[in-house]
């Protein structure tokens, strides 16, 4: 464990707030622990798979300010105070869309349109309350470079009736689709979510690369950085940081990759870690 980390990087969903069909509020205990870390001199920020526009409300609930954020699985960096993008790593989505659609014609796609929201095809399951700009055809979808392409199996909508077995089946379907499509690893990096949500960014772009850029801007080293997360897209920042913590409800491979395991998100695992340090 780092005795006094200069940088604390938190995942959001499954780490700071529970997974849900809507964005929940962090617990008072988590917010208090973060405030104590900041008062002690640490910089606290987030690295999330969420896009900028779905990140900001939760970040502000955490009481964060004066920081740079890592969004879109490392493809976008954002300055919270100036409301400006500090980096955006773009891809040409067309080859990936063509390969995936050839294997699954009913798959749904969406791309990030700057920091405004998603353009999406008719088959893409709409979820959450914000961020959807307009429906487009595939030709318009891939007309401009984007920071992130998302692919989902048609009908893949998370509801209150969605079971754990439903989620596992969706993930298996997504894995099979990716295997058949054979996306070029020299072009694309793919993160597969627990519900089969496929995030596609440029090769070499991930939360680890994003956190490294933010830390460099602050003059902070990997050895001075603590990261906390719960999912596969957190593994790259686990590998980069001086100390990594997995949430208690994380899958066994995630726990095995971390230096430490804390309690679950429902048990305020983030607060437990920060309370020990600060």
pLDDT digits (tens, 9 = 90+) for 137-195: 999 999 999 999 999 886 566 666 666 677 677 777 777 888 888 899 999 999 987 66
> What mean pLDDT comes out for the span 66-81?
96
The pLDDT assigned to 178 comes to 81
d(C-alpha 207, C-alpha 244), whole Å: 13
The pLDDT assigned to 156 comes to 61
Asked if the model's pLDDT at residue 22 lies above 60, the reply is: no
Q: At what angle do helices 269-277 and 28-39 cross, to 10 degrees?
A: 30
* Mean per-residue pLDDT over the chain, rounded: 91
Spatial contact of 148 and 183, defined as CB atoms under 8 Å apart:
no
The pLDDT assigned to 2 comes to 75
Q: How confident is the model over 105-136, as pLDDT tens digits?
A: 989 999 999 999 999 999 998 876 678 999 99
Among 17, 20, 19, which residue's Cα sits nearest to residue 30? 17
Q: At what angle do helices 94-103 and 164-181 cross, to 10 degrees?
A: 110
d(C-alpha 128, C-alpha 105), whole Å: 24
Asked if the model's pLDDT at residue 21 lies above 60, the reply is: no
The pLDDT assigned to 135 comes to 96
**Kind and range of the H or E run holding 111:** strand 108-113
The pLDDT assigned to 90 comes to 97
The pLDDT assigned to 163 comes to 67
d(C-alpha 62, C-alpha 100), whole Å: 38
The pLDDT assigned to 158 comes to 61
| Three-point CA angle 8, 111, 231, nearest 5° | 35
């Amino acid at each position: 464990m780092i005795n006094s980390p200069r940088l604390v990087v938190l995942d959001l969903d499954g780490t700071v707030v529970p997974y849900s069909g809507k964005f929940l509020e962090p617990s008072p205990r988590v917010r208090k622990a973060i405030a104590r870390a900041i008062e002690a001199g640490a910089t606290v920020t987030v690295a999330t798979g969420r896009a900028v526009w779905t990140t900001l409300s939760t970040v502000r609930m955490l009481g964060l300010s004066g920081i740079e954020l890592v969004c879109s699985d490392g493809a976008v960096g954002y300055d919270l105070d100036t409301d400006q993008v500090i980096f955006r790593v773009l891809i040409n989505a067309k080859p990936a869309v063509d390969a995936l659609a050839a294997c699954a014609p009913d798959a749904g796609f969406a791309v990030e349109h700057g920091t405004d929201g998603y353009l999406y095809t008719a088959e893409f399951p709409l979820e959450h309350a914000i961020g959807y700009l307009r429906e487009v055809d595939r030709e318009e979808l891939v007309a401009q470079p984007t920071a992130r392409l998302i692919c989902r199996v048609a009908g893949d909508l998370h509801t209150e009736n969605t079971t754990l077995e439903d989620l596992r089946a969706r993930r298996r379907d997504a894995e099979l689709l990716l295997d058949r499509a054979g996306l070029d690893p020299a072009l694309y990096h793919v993160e597969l979510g627990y519900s089969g949500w496929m995030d596609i960014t440029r090769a070499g772009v991930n939360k680890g690369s994003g956190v490294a850029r933010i830390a460099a801007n602050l003059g902070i080293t990997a050895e001075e950085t603590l990261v906390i997360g719960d999912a596969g897209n957190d593994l790259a920042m686990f590998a980069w940081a001086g100390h990594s913590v997995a949430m208690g409800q994380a899958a066994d491979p995630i726990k095995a990759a971390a230096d430490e395991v804390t309690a679950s998100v429902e048990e305020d695992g983030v607060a437990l870690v920060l309370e020990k340090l600060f």
